[in-house]
Amino acid sequence: MAVEDKGRKAASPALRGRHEFPIRVYYEDTDLAGIVYYANYLKFIERGRSEFIRALGVDQVALKADHGIVFAVRRVEADYLRPAKFDDELTVTTELAAETGARIVMEQAVMRDGETLFSATVTIVCLNEAGGPQRLPADIRAKLAPKLH
């Protein structure tokens, strides 16, 4: 719950450190051996990024409606370190690594009991309705800025 302090809201959990998002591995996430199918890690980190952005107070639907801006993945560097299995309880961590006018870089990991199973560096770009690069509005950059300082 946000607390008012001199007219400003207290920092959300995402602003105080890495964002964590819990996920359980369902049967549909696995292959015949009961191991998480490799492409599903990308789905897991997508959910983590979406929740991270939401925790920062950024409404992506409003961003598109008000400014015509959407986020798109430009690049993913991924390392598959250990397998996750059916019924595992996982945590997706997300941290902001860098931000420029139209680009956001995030470090993400999928963890089980503190052990990193998967890690990725994800570059997100901001696009306008025509699919071209678009700078983030100042109010959105301000929500990201405290994470980098």
Q: Report, as residue numbers or ranges, the catalytic residues.
A: 31
CB atoms within 10 A of CB 128: 14
- Residues linked to residue 110 through DSSP beta bridges, in sequence order: 92, 118
In contact, 126 and 133? CB cutoff 8 Å: yes
Q: Are strands 115-127 and 89-99 parallel, antiparallel or unpaired?
A: unpaired
Q: Please give the structure tokens belonging to residue 132.
A: 């071209």
Give burial (CB, 10 Å; 0-12/13-18/19+) of 93: buried
From CA 127, how far away is CA 108, in angstroms rounded? 22
